């Protein structure tokens, strides 16, 4: 098996190409056989480890956790990782190609950013250099600054974005539209969805953090509107809570 075929298989583990219940038309999967995608993801992750001018063993370990390999393949894989991370230069070309190729699959591009965020946070903190790197990759993927703020929020709970931004709704949105945005966001990011796909632990952890941030944003909007004399529709909110509690264990109580 060639090195590039190995990389494709490893990328498939992280992005559920081989999940039995996910077909080739899944909107969040890369195209079958896309070895350039696999190589680009490896390069982006490895180069990000140099974004702050240094690399740590924790980041390398997180990389291997998301791309599980057998013990006999580890030396070759570590060599590839080390080669890619010798310099941060060149990452923009990889990000630009992925963003252009999968412009119609933003959820896949979000998955890639989730992987990169998980690696950056592996040593306990995301540095300014790493954040700038991630912001630039996000830009090359075609995401706006507002969207990047939403995507990065789970990793910076002390500076979460506006709750309306977190739910991707306007401040003028109706209570019902906000409720729908909340349930949709929880459904898209719930950990159970990633567990079913066989996603690596980094994805599942990120899903928990995202779901918590989404729920917190929804509760904040409801509380704010109630204080301003614009209470959420209690009948709809109660129904949403009942529906979500059956389907999503992480949905906020009393919603």
7, pLDDT greater than 50: no
Question: Mean pLDDT lowest for which of 127-131, 160-164, 228-232?
Answer: 228-232
The reported pLDDT for the residue numbered 239 is 45
Over the stretch 85-110, which tens digit does the pLDDT of each residue have? 776 677 898 899 999 999 999 988 98
CA angle 241, 247, 250 (to 5 degrees): 70
Tens digit of each residue's pLDDT (9 = 90 or more) over 21-37: 444 456 677 777 677 78
For residues 6 and 81, which has the higher predicted lDDT (pLDDT)? 81
SS3 call for 171: coil
Q: Report DSSP state, residue 31.
A: P
Determine the topology of domain 162-255 in CATH: Helix Hairpins (1.10.287)
Q: For residue 78, which of 63, 91, 90 has the smallest C-alpha distance?
A: 63
SS (H, E, C) 103-170: CCCHHHHHHHHHHHHHHHHHHCCCCHHHHHHHHHHHHHHCCCHHHHHHHHHHHCHHHCCCHHHHCCCC
Residue among 173, 149, 171 at smallest CA distance from 161: 149
d(CA 46, CA 51): 9
Q: What is the predicted pLDDT for the residue at 18? A: 40
The pLDDT value given to residue 96: 94
201 falls in which pLDDT band (50, 70, 90)?
Answer: low
Write down the pLDDT at residue 224.
92
* CB-neighbour burial class of residue 75 (10 A; exposed 0-12, middle 13-18, buried 19+): exposed
Residues of the chain with CATH 1.10.287: 162-255
- Calculate the average pLDDT of the chain: 73
The band of 197, judged by pLDDT with boundaries at 50, 70 and 90, is low
pTM exceeding 0.75: no
Mean of pLDDT values over 191-209: 73
State residue 240's pLDDT score: 41
């Amino acid at each position: 098996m060639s090195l590039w075929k190995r990389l494709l298989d490893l990328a498939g583990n992280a992005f559920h190409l081989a999940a039995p219940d996910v077909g080739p038309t899944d909107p969040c999967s890369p195209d079958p056989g896309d070895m350039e995608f696999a190589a680009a993801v490896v390069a982006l992750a490895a180069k990000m480890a140099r974004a702050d001018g240094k690399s740590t063993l924790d980041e390398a370990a997180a990389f291997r956790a998301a791309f599980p390999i057998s013990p006999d393949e580890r030396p070759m894989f570590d060599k590839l990782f080390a080669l890619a991370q010798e310099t941060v230069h060149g990452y923009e070309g990889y990000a630009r190609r992925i963003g252009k190729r999968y412009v119609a699959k933003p959820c896949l591009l979000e998955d890639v950013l989730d992987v990169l965020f998980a690696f950056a946070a592996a040593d306990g903190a995301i540095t300014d250099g790493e954040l700038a790197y991630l912001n630039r990759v996000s830009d090359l993927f075609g995401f706006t600054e507002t969207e990047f703020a939403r995507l990065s929020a789970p990793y910076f709970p002390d500076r979460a974005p506006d709750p309306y931004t977190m739910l991707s709704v306007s401040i003028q949105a109706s209570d019902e539209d906000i409720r729908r945005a909340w349930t949709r966001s929880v459904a898209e990011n719930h950990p159970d969805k990633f567990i079913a796909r066989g996603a690596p632990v980094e994805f599942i952890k990120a899903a928990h953090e995202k779901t918590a941030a989404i729920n917190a944003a929804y509760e904040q909007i409801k509380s704010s509107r109630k204080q301003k004399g614009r209470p959420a529709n209690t009948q709809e909110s109660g129904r949403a809570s009942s529906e979500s509690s059956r389907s999503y264990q992480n949905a906020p109580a009393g919603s």
